[in-house]
Structure 1
């Protein structure tokens, strides 16, 4: 169940999780009917390694047992690459070169239908072009090209092509797309280059941002910045960028060992101001030099100039072999303009890469896998700083891996 990955950065994480929690593929019989009309989707892994998806209307309170209330994911794992929209679930099956839609049937989360796509071994970044039109970007190692596929999810019709992002050069043999964002009829793509082998990799010292006209995808300019490395990350796994109410675009760069693996560079937040078409040279929120003093990865906007960042805490893990399973992550509330940080008084979290923050109606819902203190959804009011426990998960829950809205 371990396959050749599309890039070096997350291969170790994926392999460790699969080996450590390799679930059986035996089909379970169940009388549970498909669940419809709910507000939220949650993907959880149990301590026995089995994975479940369930849907709920409330995150504020109550207790849930995913194994009893959810649909078993068959085959697992899918938690890194799911795309959720309007109550539907999608991903790319790298082994069968297909875009897949899933469904809940007979108590299991299984493949519904699929359409063939070519040259796509990964999902690096995705964007919804409209309510029903999805665009996915990925690096094709064999062709040494960045590819796109546009999918009409109503009938699974596809259009494919390539994006004129320069191929790896010199000693570099891989490319990672860390963000893709449409701004004023232009497509911004942040990327970096790697040199990797099966057991090691390094990242180049430059962040590249291609600006392309859209929909022609004609290159207009390429921005470069060396203040940090590895812009963003795979956005099916967690958020790394966003656009604020006034049209400014922010992204985080992640040189920590779980992404860029260039730890001597700082984790930093960059800004592209509305209509400026350049990375703001006067703005750099240096997370590693702040009170956080560590590297961070996930980055979520909560409104009114504030964001949440999820950061490592040094000294609690020994390397990638235990990075995912040791509780060592903190959550900080950031003021982007003042460049200030405030640690949220949450238990230490575990799980290297998770879709773990959902923002709705002025509240931030944060899932925490704390180990000894259990798994909860926590509810934060960013305006007042008030924080309280919400939905509780049964004691046999190991990880809450994904939390997302079922409707937009």
Structure 2
């Protein structure tokens, strides 16, 4: 009965808006949009990114705007891992409606990072309350086909310092039955602020027993990853090497004296390669947030411009964000000549290995996908999104 009540609540809350009429469309892409004038957040579906006249359908979601970033797409289904309700929900697109298939109540909230163990098993990690000066991470393995919890346990991580007590779980990876966590510690400043300590920790845990194997410390940068349900901070290349970015800028770790940097954990290794580091802040003079692999040893990053914003109060609203191409082998970073973007923590980059597609909300109040040719470096326009859009929060490929 409790499960049915949860389902009824979510159906009533999320899909109370009037649905869009049926349209004959086979979407390849979905955008999550924040709309102007406090109108509901919505999904916009498109058949392609090239034709500005391509047919689309738009599905309104709830009016709880800030939480609408928490959607995960995988193999024909949408999932929402909500820290607000501690509910994991499964949806499917049917016609022009997003229908709830099933829902799974969880015991915990504060989910920060996820990874897929395989196509059917999602690993989700959240913070638990501090206990006896020991930081705790709770791990769920969810079978999304059966919508069942296959495995869960609490990992106790050594307490850092008396000053920095709060745990940030930025990255999780599973390889050779080892669970690898990258985390740091932060403290509150005033009512709403925070700052992160100057150390990153990498923990290797045996996944079958949840036994802690080792912890590696990193002091060259801090605040690894971020809320990767919202934005990408890591990837594996064609060789299976794991790359990730630290984010100490004011929008995430808020320890801007340390640099944003890219690190690497080689395939089959438990420890991060101490001979590899791309110091982004040193090269471009700014911090960056978000990294997307585009193939052939190249990645896209999204960087701020500290001369254009005042402080965090207007950070998201200023047209300041640039996109750059990083050569992961040489460490060189090249600016892509695109309009300046606005908005923090956006999952808005996708590639077919020939073009990179980037959804940008520019200073002319135009919301458009731009195409960057990886071979010729030419830039061209893609699909234009509705003028009612405020932020293009994310873009996902459905096929």
Query: The TM-score by the shorter chain falls in which range?
Result: 0.7 to 0.9
Could you tell which deviates more after superposition, 340-349 or 196-205? Answer: 196-205
Q: Aligned-residue CA RMSD in angstroms?
A: 2.4
1:114-134 deviation digits (Å, cap 9, x = unpaired): 22111x212211111222211
How many residues are paired up?
Answer: 380
Could you tell which deviates more after superposition, 186-195 or 50-59? Answer: 50-59
Question: Residue 79 of structure 1 aligns to a residue in which SS?
Answer: helix
Contact 1:75 1:110 in 2 (8 A): no
Could you tell which deviates more after superposition, 92-101 or 397-406? Answer: 92-101
Q: Which has the higher contact order (CA 8 A, sep 6+)?
A: 1
TM-score by length of 1: 0.86
Question: Residue 299 of structure 1 aligns to a residue in which SS?
Answer: strand
Distance in 1 (alpha carbons) for counterparts of 2:21 and 2:159: 48
Matched, 1:29 2:2: no
Structure 1: runs of 5+ lacking an equivalent: 1-23
Matched, 1:388 2:380: yes
Aligned counterpart, 1:16: none
Could you tell which deviates more after superposition, 157-166 or 31-40? Answer: 31-40
Cα distance change on mapping 1:258 and 1:63 into 2, 3 Å: farther
For residue 151 of structure 1, the aligned residue among 142, 148, 156 is: 142
Distance in 2 (alpha carbons) for counterparts of 1:333 and 1:204: 29
For residue 289 of structure 2, the aligned residue among 297, 303, 306 is: 297
Cα distance change on mapping 1:393 and 1:165 into 2, 3 Å: same
Note the C-alpha offset of 1:242.
1.1
Could you tell which deviates more after superposition, 27-36 or 146-155? Answer: 27-36
Could you tell which deviates more after superposition, 96-105 or 78-87? Answer: 96-105
1:298-341 deviation digits (Å, cap 9, x = unpaired): 01111111111100011211111111111110000011111111
Contact 1:358 1:366 in 2 (8 A): yes
Cα distance change on mapping 1:29 and 1:268 into 2, 3 Å: closer
Aligned counterpart, 2:3: none
1:276-295 maps to which residues of 2 (within 5 A)?
Answer: 276-290=269-283, 292-295=284-287
Contact 2:241 2:266 in 1 (8 A): yes
1:41-60 maps to which residues of 2 (within 5 A)?
Answer: 41-49=30-38, 50-60=40-50
Distance in 2 (alpha carbons) for counterparts of 1:46 and 1:157: 34
Aligned counterpart, 2:264: 271
Matched, 1:137 2:125: yes
Question: Residue 381 of structure 2 aligns to a residue in which SS?
Answer: strand
Aligned counterpart, 2:8: none
Cα distance change on mapping 1:165 and 1:363 into 2, 3 Å: farther
Cα distance change on mapping 1:255 and 1:65 into 2, 3 Å: farther
Note the C-alpha offset of 1:152.
1.5
Contact 1:33 1:105 in 2 (8 A): no
Aligned counterpart, 2:216: 223
Note the C-alpha offset of 1:274.
2.9
Aligned counterpart, 2:86: 97
Distance in 1 (alpha carbons) for counterparts of 2:144 and 2:63: 22
Note the C-alpha offset of 1:232.
1.1
Cα distance change on mapping 1:108 and 1:167 into 2, 3 Å: farther
Contact 1:124 1:233 in 2 (8 A): yes
Flag the structure with higher strand content. 2
Matched, 1:205 2:198: yes
For residue 228 of structure 2, the aligned residue among 235, 238, 248 is: 235
Distance in 2 (alpha carbons) for counterparts of 1:117 and 1:233: 21
Contact 1:272 1:278 in 2 (8 A): yes
Distance in 2 (alpha carbons) for counterparts of 1:263 and 1:269: 16
Cα distance change on mapping 1:105 and 1:141 into 2, 3 Å: farther
Aligned counterpart, 2:188: 196
Cα distance change on mapping 1:245 and 1:72 into 2, 3 Å: same
Aligned counterpart, 1:334: 326
Could you tell which deviates more after superposition, 243-252 or 95-104? Answer: 95-104
Note the C-alpha offset of 1:189.
0.8
Distance in 2 (alpha carbons) for counterparts of 1:263 and 1:31: 45
Contact 2:25 2:47 in 1 (8 A): no
Note the C-alpha offset of 1:186.
2.0
1:319-375 deviation digits (Å, cap 9, x = unpaired): 111111111100000111111111000000011111011122432211111131511
1:58-73 maps to which residues of 2 (within 5 A)?
Answer: 58-63=48-53, 69-73=57-61
Matched, 1:358 2:350: yes
TM-score by length of 2: 0.88
Matched, 1:311 2:306: no
